[in-house]
Amino acid sequence: MPSDGPLLARAAYDRAAHHRSDDEWLATAWTQARVLVISPKSATPVADGPELAFRASADVPADAPRRFLGVAGDVPYFAVTTERDSLDDGGEWLTLRDVGPAIDDLQAGLLTSAIALEQWH
pTM of the model: 0.86
In percent, how much of the chain has pLDDT > 90?
Answer: 41
DSSP character string of 77-95: EEEEE--GGGS-----EEE
Q: What is the pLDDT of residues 71-120, one digit of tens each?
A: 999 999 999 998 877 676 667 888 888 888 888 889 989 998 999 888 88
SS3 at position 1: coil
Q: How confident is the model at residue 2 (pLDDT cuts 50, 70, 90)?
A: very low
Angle at 7 (CA atoms; ends 57, 107), nearest 5 degrees: 20
The whole-number pLDDT of residue 105 equals: 87
The whole-number pLDDT of residue 8 equals: 57
Q: What is the pLDDT of residues 35-56, one digit of tens each?
A: 999 988 878 888 877 789 899 9
The whole-number pLDDT of residue 9 equals: 60
Rounded CA-CA distance 74/71 in Å is 6
